[in-house]
């Protein structure tokens, strides 16, 4: 179900004494009763479109058509959204060159799809003393990417893990 703004006051639910009636280019301040009579004459609804204004702004329109247009706009906005996923590529401190190439190709595929890539290395045992090896692995990995991505978050060490985040190149 769409999230339509049903909290809009219409017709008799408008409790203000005076409103600003917006009709195309012009707008005028009048009593709510007068505006409601005008709406009934045209067989339309008096809809409060801006309740926070002083005085509140109302418009004479078909309320069901208003709800339909609002639902259509929300559906279009949702359709145009791009969801960015974060994919992870795990490396090790002792990874071989061929394996880096395979992992880099996977990362290139993810970046081409428009996803971000988190590259991580977990240090085990004594490897934790040689974190500079992790920086060398990251440099080698970035050379294989050859301009498909840009570094969004540079390599940093947190506990036994070192990671960086890459974003697709625009």
| Residue 61: strand pairing partners | 45
- pLDDT at residue 5, rounded to an integer: 52
Distance separating the N- and C-terminal Cα atoms of the chain: 35
**What pLDDT, in 10s, does the model give residues 6-61?**
567 788 888 888 888 887 777 888 888 888 888 889 889 888 888 888 888 888 88
Structural domains of the chain in order of their starting residue, each with its CATH number: 11-78 (3.10.20.80), 86-168 (3.30.110.10)
- The per-residue pLDDT for 114 is 87
Who has greater pLDDT, 80 or 139? 139
Q: How confident is the model at residue 163 (pLDDT cuts 50, 70, 90)?
A: very high
Q: What is the pLDDT of residue 2?
A: 41
């Amino acid at each position: 179900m769409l999230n339509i703004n049903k909290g809009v006051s219409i017709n008799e639910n408008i409790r203000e004494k005076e409103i600003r009636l917006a009709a195309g280019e012009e707008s005028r301040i009048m009593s709510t009763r007068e505006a409601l009579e005008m709406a009934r004459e045209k067989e339309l609804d008096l809809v409060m479109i801006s309740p926070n204004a002083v005085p509140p702004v109302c418009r004479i329109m078909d309320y069901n058509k208003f709800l339909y247009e609002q639902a259509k706009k929300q559906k279009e906005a949702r359709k145009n959204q791009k969801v960015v996923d974060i994919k992870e590529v795990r490396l090790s401190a002792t990874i071989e060159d061929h394996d880096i190439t395979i992992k880099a190709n996977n990362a290139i595929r993810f970046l081409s799809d428009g996803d971000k890539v988190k590259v991580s290395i977990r240090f085990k045992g004594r490897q934790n003393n040689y974190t500079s090896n992790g920086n060398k692995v990251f440099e080698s990995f970035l050379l294989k990417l050859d301009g498909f991505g840009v570094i969004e978050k540079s390599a940093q060490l947190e506990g036994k893990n070192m990671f960086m985040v890459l974003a697709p190149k625009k």
